[in-house]
Each structure stands twice: as structure tokens, then as C-alpha cells.
């Protein structure tokens, strides 16, 4: 057997020694050294997004907040076919983004931001002023409606308390319209307010108007007076038609109201409408279509100073003198039956 060569060394002299080689690895776990940078970058990005969100919540308007809320509402079902009607309506915040109306979403009402960073007031002064003006206008309209209802009730009680006017209870029509409180005096079957074909008032009609004037003269609202007739097929050779007749009856009503204490400045307009606005459209020749309408106009009032300086005759306790028809007021035309 051949002998193994002796390479020398500490264990190789006169024996069979083994040479051991040690390799030292430096920088253990070196491949994990950069992960903390990624985690830190994610943290910084998240913080930046968080503070950007806080800034946006304090910088946008209530309308824009509503748009954001609608965009993220889980139950919202949008029918938009493009991205033009997005969260802020396709506009930048500084451009005053508008709420998109192209989709149907569930609205979420959020309170408007009032205080910004550093305690700065973020409420738009113009917007606050508009809201206060709208609230004031709504309160005035509600108060005016209550006054109208009170006047209507007072007028009905006043008429029912006069025995001579009891037959005219069904002739007095009071209702509320978009234009204002409407008080109408209409003919009944065999109970007319004016002489046939004439602007001459019957005494009972004049007494009823005096009672009405004692109520409406207390109000600052301006008045609209209109006369109405039923259609007539008769032809008056003089050319006197339902237009003239309805106008003359409205003017006669105005004169009685003035004698009852209504100030002339309170009368806004006096018109004759002939048979163009019937009360009973199903029966054009109904007696109820022959009427006079007095409307207390909404929102059209005498100014406070003007109303306070009304003539002293408003305070008189005695009744005015009987109405004397003016020249040309009575038109007894047999051919006209209105």
C-alpha cells in the first residue's frame, strides 16, 4: 500500500494530522438592511394624506362637502355615463365646484364648516347674509298669512253679527290665493249686488262694502279691485259692453271703500275683466260669475311711515254719508242683462 504523502503542518509531522480551514462570513443578514426605508416612506405618505384630508375638510364649502358625501355614500346608485359629473362636478375646489345633477344619489346633510385652522372663521359672509334674508322673508310670509286668516275670521264674524246682512252671507266669498287674500262679493239667485246692466249698487251691497272696509283699512297691504260679469249676447247700440260695465262696477266699489275709511294710496289697481275669468266655468251664465273681487296683495305694502300718516278720517266713529253715484256711473241699458 502506498503511503499518504506528508504535507507537513502542525499535525503532519510524524502522524496523520488534518488541516482545518475556517471561513468567516461578515455582515450577517445584510439583505434586510433597506426595508425600514420603505416602511418609513409609507408612514410619511399616510401622514401627508391625513393632513391633506384635514385641510380639505376645513377649506371646502358645505355644497362641496355634500358632493363628497354623496360620492362616498354606499347606497348611492349613480346613472352617470361619464366622469364629467364626478365628486366635485368636474371643477377644482378654488373654482367653486357644483354638485352634479346627472346622477341619482342619496343625499347626506353635513353641517357647514365654520372654523378653520388657527380659529379662522370660514363661513362666507355673503352666504350667511342670504340665509338670514331667506329666513326673515319666510317669517314675514308666515306672519302675513296668519294676519290674513285672522282678517277672514274677523270679517265673517262681523258680517254674521249684522242682521240686515244675513241674506248676503252666501254672497261673501273669502279665500287665500298666491296673489293674496281674496274677498269676493258675488250675485246669488235672485239676490243681485248691482242693478241689472248698471254700476249702481244696491243699499245692501254698499253696507256690506262698508263693513269690509272697516276691516281691511287696518292692514298695510295694497288692494287690487276687479269687476266681473257673465257673458252677454245682447248688442248695445251705444257700444257699452261688459268691459265697460265690469270696470264701472270695480270703480264704484273703490269709491265705497274709500268712504268706508280705506286710503286711496292703498288701492294698487282697479280693472274690469268682463267675462274672461268666470268663477263657475261649468255654467258661464251662473249668477256667481257676476261679482267684484277685492284682493289684499301679498308683499305689496305701504311703508311704515306712509301707513302711520294716513288721514284722520280713519279714526272717525260715525258712518260716512250715503254714496251718491257719480255722473255716468249708472247705465240702465235694457239690452245688457248682467
Using CB atoms within 10 A of its CB, is residue 171 exposed (0-12), middle (13-18) or buried (19+)? buried
Cβ atoms of residues 338 and 242 within 8 Å = yes
Residue 274 lies in a domain: yes
Q: Is 99 in the same domain as 195? A: no
Q: Is 311 in the same domain as 162? A: yes
pLDDT beyond 60 at 23: yes
Q: Is 155 in the same domain as 256? A: yes
pLDDT tens figures, 172-185: 899 988 899 999 99
Q: Given pLDDT bands bounded at 50, 70 and 90, which one contains residue 309?
A: very low
Q: Given pLDDT bands bounded at 50, 70 and 90, which one contains residue 194?
A: very high
Q: Is 289 in the same domain as 228? A: yes
Q: How far is the C-alpha of 77 from the C-alpha of 64, rounded, in Å? A: 19
Mean pLDDT of the chain: 74
Residue 241 lies in a domain: yes
Q: How far is the C-alpha of 111 from the C-alpha of 78, rounded, in Å? A: 24
Q: Given pLDDT bands bounded at 50, 70 and 90, which one contains residue 212?
A: very high
Q: Is 229 in the same domain as 104? A: no
Higher pLDDT, 47 or 141: 47
Q: How far is the C-alpha of 19 from the C-alpha of 12, rounded, in Å? A: 9
Report, as an integer, the average pLDDT of 190-211. 91
Residue 254 lies in a domain: yes
Residue 106 belongs to what domain range? 65-72+86-114
pLDDT tens figures, 131-170: 777 777 777 778 878 888 888 888 888 887 787 787 788 8
pLDDT tens figures, 51-76: 988 887 788 788 877 887 787 776 54
Which range in 8-22, 116-130, 247-261, 299-313 is most confidently predicted, on average pLDDT?
247-261
Residue 25 lies in a domain: no
* 46: Cα separation from own chain's centroid: 45
Residue 135 lies in a domain: no
Residue 137 lies in a domain: no
DSSP secondary structure letter of residue 283: S
Q: Is 183 in the same domain as 298? A: yes
In the chain, % of residues over pLDDT 90: 27
Q: Is 298 in the same domain as 175? A: yes
Number of domains in the chain: 2
pLDDT beyond 60 at 270: yes
Q: Given pLDDT bands bounded at 50, 70 and 90, which one contains residue 98?
A: very low
pLDDT beyond 90 at 327: no
Q: Is 98 in the same domain as 161? A: no
Give the pLDDT of residue 119. 52
Q: Is 187 in the same domain as 276? A: yes
Q: What is the pTM of this model?
A: 0.52
Residue 282's CATH number: 3.30.1330.60
Residue 237 lies in a domain: yes
In the chain, % of residues over pLDDT 70: 64
Cβ atoms of residues 275 and 174 within 8 Å = no
Q: Given pLDDT bands bounded at 50, 70 and 90, which one contains residue 200?
A: very high
Q: Is 179 in the same domain as 301? A: yes
Q: Is 99 in the same domain as 234? A: no
pLDDT beyond 90 at 7: no
Q: Is 167 in the same domain as 103? A: no
- Tell me which of 121-130, 131-140, 191-200 is least confident: 121-130
Residue 239 lies in a domain: yes
Binning the chain into helix, strand and coil, the percentages to the nearest 5 are 40, 15, 45
Give the pLDDT of residue 44. 93
Amino acid at each position: 500500500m502506498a503511503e499518504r504523502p506528508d504535507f507537513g503542518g502542525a499535525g503532519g509531522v510524524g502522524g496523520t494530522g488534518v488541516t482545518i480551514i475556517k471561513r468567516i462570513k461578515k455582515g450577517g443578514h445584510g439583505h434586510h438592511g433597506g426595508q425600514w426605508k420603505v416602511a418609513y416612506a409609507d408612514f410619511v405618505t399616510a401622514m401627508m394624506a391625513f393632513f391633506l384630508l384635514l385641510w380639505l375638510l376645513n377649506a371646502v364649502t358645505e355644497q362641496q362637502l355634500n358632493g363628497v358625501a354623496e360620492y362616498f355614500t354606499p347606497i348611492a346608485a349613480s346613472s352617470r355615463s361619464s366622469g364629467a359629473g364626478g365628486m366635485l362636478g368636474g371643477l377644482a375646489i378654488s373654482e367653486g365646484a357644483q354638485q352634479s345633477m346627472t346622477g341619482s344619489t342619496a343625499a347626506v346633510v353635513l353641517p357647514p364648516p365654520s372654523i378653520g385652522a388657527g380659529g379662522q372663521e370660514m363661513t362666507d359672509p355673503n352666504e350667511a347674509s342670504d340665509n338670514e334674508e331667506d329666513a326673515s322673508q319666510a317669517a314675514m310670509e308666515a306672519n302675513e298669512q296668519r294676519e290674513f286668516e285672522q282678517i277672514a275670521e274677523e270679517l265673517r264674524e262681523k258680517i254674521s253679527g249684522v242682521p240686515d246682512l244675513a241674506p248676503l252671507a252666501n254672497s261673501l266669498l273669502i279665500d287665500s290665493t298666491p296673489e293674496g287674500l281674496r274677498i269676493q262679493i258675488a250675485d246669488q239667485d235672485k239676490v243681485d249686488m248691482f242693478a241689472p246692466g248698471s254700476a249702481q249698487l244696491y243699499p245692501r251691497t254698499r253696507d256690506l262694502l262698508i263693513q269690509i272696509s272697516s276691516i281691511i283699512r287696518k292692514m298695510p297691504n295694497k288692494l287690487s279691485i276687479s269687476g266681473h260679469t257673465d257673458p252677454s249676447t245682447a248688442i248695445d247700440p251705444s257700444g257699452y259692453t261688459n268691459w265697460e260695465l265690469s270696470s264701472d262696477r270695480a270703480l264704484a266699489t273703490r269709491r265705497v271703500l274709500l268712504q268706508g275709511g280705506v286710503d286711496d294710496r292703498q288701492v294698487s289697481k282697479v280693472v274690469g275683466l268682463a267675462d274672461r275669468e268666470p268663477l263657475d266655468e261649468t255654467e258661464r251664465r251662473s249668477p256667481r260669475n257676476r261679482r267684484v273681487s277685492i284682493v289684499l296683495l301679498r308683499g305689496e305694502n305701504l311703508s311704515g311711515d306712509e301707513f302711520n300718516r294716513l288721514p284722520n278720517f280713519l279714526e272717525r266713529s260715525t258712518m260716512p254719508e250715503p254714496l251718491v253715484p257719480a255722473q255716468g256711473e249708472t247705465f240702465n241699458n235694457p239690452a245688457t242683462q248682467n
